[in-house]
Structure 1
Amino acid sequence: MPAVSELRSGKTHRDENFPVASFLIHPRHRALILAFYNFVRTADDIADHSTLAASDKLAYLDLLEAELLGKGDSQKEAVALRLALADRGMPPRHALDLLAAFRMDVTKLRYENWDDLIHYCRYSAMPVGRFVLDVHGESTATWPANDAVCAALQINNHLQDCGKDYRDLNRVYLPRDALEASGASVEMLGSQKASPQLLQCLHGLAVRNERLLDESKSFSAEVKDFRLGLEISVIHAFAEKIVRLLKARDPLSERVHLSPLELLFGSLSGMAGETARRAVGRRPVSKPAAGR
């Protein structure tokens, strides 16, 4: 069995849709966050590997979990995170939740409805934000807002990559009932351009995801750490820009990712807004939940 690092896709924290341990995060937290990211990215790449058999993927994920829990020292990503967590006296709970999501990626290729998709996000996305909050010593009272924005980020990603996920992995995160309600089929994801029915489904899901994102507008105000608040504001600004693209464009044939210039302006806008809000002590008001 080769080392799991040999199965990495080459994607790094600089290639994500959102900042990972950016300069906004205090330097004392960055090494731990990057150790967590490298562990998670390795596990994600295993689950998404194009040639590994499902049984081999699950065996590698089991190996990562075992070594994270101290049962071996052969996989550097697991060992590095285990030591970094031990140094802070933190449990591996959030990394274990993410491993559960990656096992779902291997064994579960379709989702029935929105609730089914949110359940997946509970393991695939929400633990990432919860981990960062724990690193900063924030209250668990911030988790509901975190969970909303993390799920929205995940669903943005599902919509952006829906064609690629279907073609490369036969994996479809678009809920079956949403496809059926629009008269769309899974097979339409294999086309170079979305049919009117599929486009209706995709835009409807983007609108629903925008409402989910609206629920997390108070998130940056709920955290005590100023630098983390800035990071959250930047992430939220990125997510809002992406969801606007997804409401108007076809992810099968049009660009639905942010350009470097858009990333720059989104960062500046998010930081400026959060700095101004904290200066005057104003708390953003979340819109009422609108039927997830």
Structure 2
Amino acid sequence: MLPDEYCQQKAAASGSSFYVSFRFLPADRRKAITALYAFCREVDDIVDDQTMDAAQARFKLDGWRKEIAEMEAGRPDHLITQALFPHLEAFNLDVNLLLAIIDGMEMDLDKVRYESFDDLKKYCWHVASAVGILAARIFGLTNPQTGEYAEKLGLAFQLTNIIRDVGEDIKIGRIYLPADELKEFGVTEDDLEKARYTPEFSELMDFQAKRALSLYDEAFALLPEEDRQSQRPGLMMASIYRELLLQIKKKDFPVLTEHVSLTKTKKLWLAWKAYVDE
């Protein structure tokens, strides 16, 4: 199998909202973002593999750190790094950001609770904002402020994921909702584990959603006009993710027992609307 084919299959199999926007890119940028996304899926799958113990997962993540070093030296071995290597210089892709993503994935092996939102933001930077910065470079940027937009948008995306996946995460022992906010709203870990839909839970989740929606608005405000057209793929992703968050909010956060998602048709419509609006 060719490197680009492997990455294409990896990205397509995920069914992610992100993949929908890739098809609107020119071929070289599409190949680069698909390789980046395949890398993120590969390292994330290591940590999420419940058949693997922490020591095995760390060993595999260390293997990826070595593979990134080999790629930087011009000797990529894995199909993903072979696909990504040609784009490093073309799109100014900093390997330190790739390593930061691996560090973020490893945080899931070290930490399953976050005391505060500031604490959580450090995790989100590694697993989402670093990805956003790399993606923005692939899409094309001329103004450094676009990096700030991408960083904040990545945080909004990750908070949306956290809200959507509360019930799924608690099943594997992870709680990303800040502990001090759980306490402030009167929601216990037992409430989450037993899937209790209390008024306090609704208030807590509404607070989380409002913060995420505010971050989308802050990100959009940061995007310089001269880079809006090139950053259309990110705006398309944002349109899909923001709508998903609004749907979760409209349903009063059934996230303890339900995986809320948008249909493929809805995602394509939102992506196309965002594309033509820009």
Same fold (TM over 0.5): yes
SS, match of residue 220 in structure 2: coil
- Indicate how the Cα distance of structure 1 residues 101 and 157 shifts in structure 2: closer, same or farther if over 3 A, else same: same
Residue type of the partner of 2:127?
Answer: S
Are 2:99 and 1:96 equivalent residues in the alignment?
Answer: yes
Structure 1: unaligned runs, 5 residues or longer = 1-9, 275-292
Are 2:276 and 1:267 equivalent residues in the alignment?
Answer: no
Structure 2: unaligned runs, 5 residues or longer = 1-9
Q: What's the offset of the Cα at 1:38?
A: 1.3
Q: Which residue does 1:70 correspond to in 2?
A: 70
Match 1:235 to one of 229, 234, 237: 237
> Where in structure 2 are the equivalents of 1:109-188 lying within 5 Å?
109-138=112-141, 139-167=143-171, 169-188=172-191
> In terms of mean alpha carbon deviation, does 260-269 or 70-79 score higher?
70-79
Q: What's the offset of the Cα at 1:65?
A: 0.9
Q: Normalising by structure 2, report the TM-score.
A: 0.84
Residue type of the partner of 1:164?
Answer: E
1:129 and 1:147 in contact (8 A); partners too: yes
Q: What's the offset of the Cα at 1:152?
A: 0.6
Q: Which residue does 1:214 correspond to in 2?
A: 217
Residue type of the partner of 1:208?
Answer: R
Q: Which residue does 1:278 correspond to in 2?
A: none
Q: Give the Cα–Cα distance (whole angstroms) in 2 for the partners of residues 152 and 222 of structure 1.
A: 20
SS, match of residue 206 in structure 2: helix
User: What RMSD, in angstroms, separates the aligned Cα atoms of the two structures?
Assistant: 2.5
SS, match of residue 257 in structure 1: coil
1:136 and 1:225 in contact (8 A); partners too: no
Residue type of the partner of 1:144?
Answer: E
* Larger RCO, structure (CA 8 Å, separation 6 or more): 2
Q: Normalising by structure 1, report the TM-score.
A: 0.80
> In terms of mean alpha carbon deviation, does 256-265 or 151-160 score higher?
256-265
* CA offsets 1:248-275 (integer angstroms, 9 cap, x no match): 322124453212232133123212321x
Residue type of the partner of 2:48?
Answer: D
Q: Which residue does 2:7 correspond to in 1?
A: none
Q: What's the offset of the Cα at 1:136?
A: 4.1
Q: Give the Cα–Cα distance (whole angstroms) in 2 for the partners of residues 76 and 67 of structure 1.
A: 11
> In terms of mean alpha carbon deviation, does 228-237 or 95-104 score higher?
228-237
Q: What's the offset of the Cα at 1:78?
A: 3.7
Identify the structure with the greater helix proportion: 2
Q: Give the Cα–Cα distance (whole angstroms) in 1 for the partners of residues 20 and 268 of structure 2.
A: 15
* CA offsets 1:134-177 (integer angstroms, 9 cap, x no match): 2244132212221121101111001101111110x211110001
Q: Give the Cα–Cα distance (whole angstroms) in 2 for the partners of residues 53 and 186 of structure 1.
A: 24
Q: Give the Cα–Cα distance (whole angstroms) in 2 for the partners of residues 262 and 193 of structure 1.
A: 30
- Indicate how the Cα distance of structure 1 residues 89 and 201 shifts in structure 2: closer, same or farther if over 3 A, else same: closer
Are 2:192 and 1:189 equivalent residues in the alignment?
Answer: yes
Q: What's the offset of the Cα at 1:55?
A: 1.1
Aligned residues: 263
